[in-house]
């Protein structure tokens, strides 16, 4: 009778029986729950590996007897691998499926010798199961056949069993599903990211940047062009990854043959061109485009939103590119979002252009060149938002070389606030023509703001500088005080009673008066320059003072070392504007800012002449003689005759209709100014004269002979002034 021991073969060509299913009578095997004696055999029993293992299988067989050979055959032939490992980590049994993994003649060999490199986790789990006695499962990638197996590990009575199941196909299906799920998730993520980015995009340029950032990299594309139709003509809205000369060439081509692009958009069907040969077949008349563009594949995507054909997006690749169905669907979906954003952006750009044109129209187009001050200004919008602000500034020439510097801020943003700002600027210019002092001007301006309605408030600072006596007069309505920088670098801020803003103020307004040294610098600004949501205005004002002081100290040192000192002084306001705008403005500001910088000059004494005249008809003759002699000294002989007529008429009117004392003053700057002052508060007016009237034509003569004229009231009376343009220089 055959005996099946460890290492022998099954009589039907099977494996070594697990410990001998049938054996000759012999000493009874120890009970399974009896302690093992000795430890010499692989199983640690009586030293006979086959007998001990077989006894255990017989004890676990269903009914024993002849069922044992059937169990051995089942174990050998079952599709799952099965391995028994003894306490010494030797393989006590394995079936055919396990033998294919661990190799032939494995029974009796050390399990560790049969495990390949790269399955370290399996070894750790085996030790853990044997140590804790708790079953465990682990999936292992087997390097020998590059497949995945599930190892079910369990420990019983000192033996360790391993059931091996091939899960490679399941894992492959799961991997494919995971990849599909990941692709879907990635697609959803891309669309979500693009949607968020497009939601933040305001301008057409922003839309192009978003598409270049969120569409090109995921698809491995290298070029993007967005074309739109403007008045029926194709215009490039943005180009990324193309040579500039090619974009210009294509723009010229589309300008001549717009049907090439319009036909694509009219069909509203995307076109995917996977190679240069396909492009030539698609556009045989444009065979040179692939070489000039340095691209080899294209996705032509029409941009349609709200039923409007906006244009097309062209996504390009450096190499030939295959477009699988899911990629095509994603590109089409993404470009649908881009079309919607592009439509909004175009509307925004159009409104933004109109708003900025309104803003520019309400601010001075250029600042005047005046002898009393050198000026520079900046208007700095808060950001890309369409709404315009109410910040404004102005420089207004006054009589006798004086100049008014104005800055203000209508609270709020929008077209209505910008319109209110324009009304205030016009009102200030009108009131300035009346030669009103700053506090009176703000009183009238306060009435104007009140008439605009309860919801309008504005701040304003009005400053008058006189270069003849260096006087500076300032009034403020709810506005930050100006920075006054002296030539040495000391920065002062006028201290006045804080007045409420226009629309909420109760006049009179406080007035600040000072006398400035020559080459002082005045900095007028709105609160957006020095204040933000996270920065207190005092912090911004301190930074402004430090920056301004340091800039003037450097300017003084540079001017003394350079030969072009006068020219450098004229450039100083521009340089101060640039440096303040860069170094002072809060980075997180949400408000517009206006900045006006003026450097003061002094009218030299030799350019001013003054005389007191008697309250007598002979005063007119004296005035003519003084004017003739002074103009001769100034080499202004071409103006003598006209000036004699003007001063004679003005002095004659004072003698006849006003009261003394009478003063005549001549000033030479960029114009010739003649002033006649008296103590009367009566206002001379031009009136219409009849044919038989003997008087009433004097002021008509004054208006006809002068460049401009007017009346200015002073603390002691009034001054009537006229200006004449200087003759061209002979040099």
3-state secondary structure 196-259: HHHHHCCCHHHHHHHHHHHCHHHHCCCEEEEEEEECCEEEEEEEECCCHHHHHHHHHHHHHCCH
DSSP 91-119: EEEE-HHHHHHH-SS-TTSBHHHHSPTT-
Q: What is the pLDDT of residue 563?
A: 55
Q: Which residue has the higher pLDDT, 419 or 53?
A: 419
Output 70-75 pairs: Cβ under 8 A, ≥24 positions apart.
71/21, 72/4, 72/10, 72/14, 72/15, 72/17, 72/18, 72/21, 73/10, 73/12, 73/14, 75/18
Instruction: Give the closest residue to 241 by CA, choosing from 225, 218, 259, 255.
Output: 225
Half-sphere exposure of 195 (CA within 13 A, CB side): 8
Instruction: Give the closest residue to 216 by CA, choosing from 297, 311, 302.
Output: 297
Question: Strand pairing partners for 573?
Answer: none
Q: What is the pLDDT of residue 344?
A: 86
Q: What is the pLDDT of residue 349?
A: 80
Instruction: Give the closest residue to 245 by CA, choosing from 208, 300, 318, 294.
Output: 294
Q: What is the pLDDT of residue 602?
A: 95
Alpha carbons 550 and 556: distance in angstroms, whole number: 10
Alpha carbons 587 and 42: distance in angstroms, whole number: 80
Give residue 6's pLDDT band: very low, low, confident or very high (50, 70, 90). very low
Q: Alpha-carbon torsion 570, 574, 577, 579, what sign?
A: negative
Alpha-carbon separation of residue 245 from 241, 252, 602 (angstroms): 12, 11, 55
Sheet holding 483-485, edge to edge: 373-380, 593-600, 521-525, 483-485, 491-492
Q: Enumerate the domain spans of the chain.
A: 1-124+133-158, 178-354, 363-600, 605-725
Q: What is the pLDDT of residue 682?
A: 79
Q: What is the pLDDT of residue 515?
A: 95
Sheet holding 81-85, edge to edge: 91-94, 81-85, 159-166, 147-156, 136-142
CATH class (in words) of the domain with range 1-124+133-158: alpha beta
Task: Classify residue 696 by its DSSP letter.
Answer: S
Q: Phi first, then psi: what are they for 596, rounded to 5°?
A: -130, 120
Instruction: Give the closest residue to 343 by CA, choosing from 191, 228, 209, 213.
Output: 228
- The mean pLDDT value of the chain amounts to 82
Please identify which residue in the block is written with the tokens 């169905």. 325
DSSP 469-525: TTEEEEEEES-PPPEEE-TTS-EE----PPPPPBTT--SPPP-EEEEPPTT-EEEEE
* Mean pLDDT on 606-611: 95
pLDDT digits (tens, 9 = 90+) for 249-272: 888 887 777 676 777 777 788 889
Is residue 312 within 8 Å of 301, Cβ to Cβ? yes
Q: Going by CATH, does the domain composed of 178-354 fall within 3.30.450.40?
A: yes
Question: Strand pairing partners for 300?
Answer: 271, 314
Superfamily of domain 363-600: PPM-type phosphatase domain (3.60.40.10)
* Mean pLDDT on 77-94: 90
DSSP 106-168: -TTSBHHHHSPTT-HHHHHHHHHHHHH---EEEEEEETTTTEEEEEEEEEETTEEEEEEEE-H
Q: What is the pLDDT of residue 421?
A: 87
C-alpha angle 526-529-530 in degrees, rounded to nearest 5: 105
Q: Answer whether residue 429 shows pLDDT above 60.
A: yes
pLDDT digits (tens, 9 = 90+) for 510-551: 999 999 999 999 999 999 899 887 888 889 999 999 999 999
pLDDT digits (tens, 9 = 90+) for 278-329: 888 877 777 778 888 888 998 988 888 887 788 888 899 999 999 988 888 8
Question: Which residues, other chains included, contact 467 with Cβ-Cβ below 8 Å and sequence gap of 6+?
Answer: 371, 372, 373, 401, 402, 403, 600, 601, 602, 603, 669
Q: Which residue has the higher pLDDT, 641 or 587?
A: 641
Q: Answer whether residue 157 shows pLDDT above 60.
A: yes
Give residue 66's pLDDT band: very low, low, confident or very high (50, 70, 90). low
Is residue 588 within 8 Å of 452, Cβ to Cβ? no
Question: Which residues, other chains included, contact 252 with Cβ-Cβ below 8 Å and sequence gap of 6+?
Answer: none
Alpha carbon 655 to chain centroid distance?
68
Q: Which residue has the higher pLDDT, 248 or 481?
A: 481
Q: What is the pLDDT of residue 387?
A: 59
Answer whether 1-124+133-158 and 178-354 agree in fold.
Answer: yes
Give residue 5's pLDDT band: very low, low, confident or very high (50, 70, 90). very low
Q: Which residue has the higher pLDDT, 25 or 73?
A: 73
**587: its two tokens:** 């980075």
Q: Answer whether residue 431 shows pLDDT above 90.
A: yes
CATH class (in words) of the domain with range 605-725: alpha beta
Q: What is the pLDDT of residue 730?
A: 57
Task: Classify residue 528 by its DSSP letter.
Answer: G
Whether the predicted model's global pTM rises above the 0.95 cut: no
**30: its two tokens:** 């120890």
pLDDT digits (tens, 9 = 90+) for 343-397: 888 888 887 777 777 777 778 888 999 999 999 999 888 765 545 678 899 999 9
Give residue 568's pLDDT band: very low, low, confident or very high (50, 70, 90). low
Give residue 56's pLDDT band: very low, low, confident or very high (50, 70, 90). very low
| Range from 353-362, 579-588, 590-599 carrying the lowest mean pLDDT | 353-362
Q: What is the pLDDT of residue 516?
A: 95
**662: its two tokens:** 């009478």
Q: Answer whether residue 18 shows pLDDT above 50.
A: no
Give residue 573's pLDDT band: very low, low, confident or very high (50, 70, 90). very high
| Range from 40-49, 197-206, 311-320, 490-499 carrying the lowest mean pLDDT | 40-49
Q: Answer whether residue 565 shows pLDDT above 70.
A: no
Q: What is the pLDDT of residue 23?
A: 36
Q: Phi first, then psi: what are they for 236, rounded to 5°?
A: -80, 120
* Mean pLDDT on 635-640: 94
Q: What is the pLDDT of residue 42?
A: 31
**3 state SS of 20:** coil
**215: its two tokens:** 């569409």
Q: What is the pLDDT of residue 427?
A: 94
* Mean pLDDT on 327-337: 85
3-state secondary structure 577-641: HHHHHHHCCCCCCCCCEEEEEEEECCCCHHHEEEEEECCCCHHHHHHHHHHHHHHHHCCCHHHHH
* Mean pLDDT on 141-162: 88
């Amino acid at each position: 009778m055959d005996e099946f021991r460890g290492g022998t073969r099954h009589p039907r060509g099977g494996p070594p029986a697990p410990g001998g299913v049938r054996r000759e009578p012999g000493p009874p095997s120890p009970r399974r729950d009896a302690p093992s004696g000795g430890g010499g055999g692989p199983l640690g029993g009586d030293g006979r590996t086959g007998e001990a293992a077989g006894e255990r299988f017989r004890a676990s067989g269903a009914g024993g007897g002849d069922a044992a050979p059937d169990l051995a055959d089942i174990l050998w032939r079952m599709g799952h691998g099965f391995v028994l490992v003894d306490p010494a980590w030797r393989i006590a049994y394995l079936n055919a499926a396990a033998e294919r993994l661990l190799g032939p003649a494995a029974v009796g060999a050390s399990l560790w010798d049969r495990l390949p490199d790269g399955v370290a986790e399996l070894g750790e789990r085996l030790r853990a199961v044997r140590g804790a006695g708790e079953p465990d499962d682990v999936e292992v990638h087997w390097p020998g056949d590059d497949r995945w197996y599930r190892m079910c590990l369990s420990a019983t009575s000192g033996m360790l069993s391993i059931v091996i199941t091939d899960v490679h196909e399941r894992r492959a299906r799961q991997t494919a599903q995971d990849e599909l799920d990941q692709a879907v998730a990635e697609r959803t993520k891309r669309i979500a990211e693009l949607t968020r980015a497009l939601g933040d995009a305001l301008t057409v340029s922003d839309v192009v940047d978003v598409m270049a950032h969120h569409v090109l990299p995921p698809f491995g594309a290298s070029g993007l062009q967005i074309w739109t139709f403007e008045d029926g003509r194709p215009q490039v809205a943005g180009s990324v990854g193309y040579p500039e000369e090619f974009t210009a060439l294509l723009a010229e081509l589309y300008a001549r043959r717009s049907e090439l692009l319009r036909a694509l958009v009219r069909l509203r069907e995307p076109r995917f061109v996977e190679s240069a040969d396909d492009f030539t077949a698609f556009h045989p008349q444009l065979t040179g485009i692939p070489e000039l563009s340095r691209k080899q594949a294209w996705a032509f995507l029409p941009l349609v939103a709200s039923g409007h054909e906006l244009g097309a997006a062209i996504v390009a690749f450096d190499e030939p590119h295959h477009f699988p169905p899911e990629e095509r669907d994603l590109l089409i979906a993404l470009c649908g979002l881009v079309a919607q954003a592009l439509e909004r952006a175009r509307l925004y750009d159009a409104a933004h252009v109109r708003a900025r044109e309104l803003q520019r129209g309400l601010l001075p187009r250029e600042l005047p060149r005046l002898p009393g001050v050198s000026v520079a200004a900046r208007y700095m919008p808060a950001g890309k938002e369409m709404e315009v602000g109410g910040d404004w500034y102005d420089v207004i020439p006054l009589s006798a070389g004086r100049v008014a510097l104005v800055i203000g801020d209508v609270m709020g943003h929008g077209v209505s606030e910008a319109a209110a700002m324009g009304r205030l600027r016009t009102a200030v210019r009108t009131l300035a023509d009346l030669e009103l002092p700053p506090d009176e001007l703000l009183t009238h301006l306060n009435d104007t703001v009140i008439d605009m309605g309860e919801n309008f408030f504005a701040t304003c600072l009005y400053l008058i500088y006189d270069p003849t006596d260096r006087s500076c007069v300032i009034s403020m309505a709810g506005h930050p005080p100006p920075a006054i920088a002296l030539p040495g670098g000391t920065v002062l801020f006028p201290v006045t009673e804080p007045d409420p803003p226009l629309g909420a103020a109760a006049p009179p307004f406080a007035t600040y008066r000072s006398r400035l040294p020559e080459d002082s610098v005045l900095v007028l600004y709105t609160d957006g320059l020095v204040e933000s949501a996270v920065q207190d205005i005092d912090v911004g004002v301190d930074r402004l003072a430090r920056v301004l002081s340091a800039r003037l100290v450097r300017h003084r040192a540079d001017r003394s070392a350079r030969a072009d000192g006068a020219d450098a002084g004229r450039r100083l306001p521009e340089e101060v504007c640039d440096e303040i705008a860069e170094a002072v403005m809060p980075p997180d500001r949400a408000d517009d800012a206006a900045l006006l910088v003026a450097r003061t000059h002094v009218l030299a004494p030799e350019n001013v002449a003054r005389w007191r005249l008697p309250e007598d008809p002979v005063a007119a003759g004296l005035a003519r003689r003084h004017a003739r002699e002074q103009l001769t000294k100034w080499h202004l002989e071409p103006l003598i005759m006209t000036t004699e007529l003007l001063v004679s008429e003005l002095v004659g009117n004072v003698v006849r209709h006003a009261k003394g004392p009478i003063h005549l003053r001549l000033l030479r700057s960029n114009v010739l100014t003649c002033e006649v002052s008296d103590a009367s508060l009566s206002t001379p007016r031009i009136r219409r004269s009849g044919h038989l009237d003997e008087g009433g034509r004097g002021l008509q003569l004054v208006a006809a002979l002068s460049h401009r004229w007017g009346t200015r009231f002073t603390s002691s009376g009034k001054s009537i002034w006229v200006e004449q343009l200087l003759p061209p220089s002979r040099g």
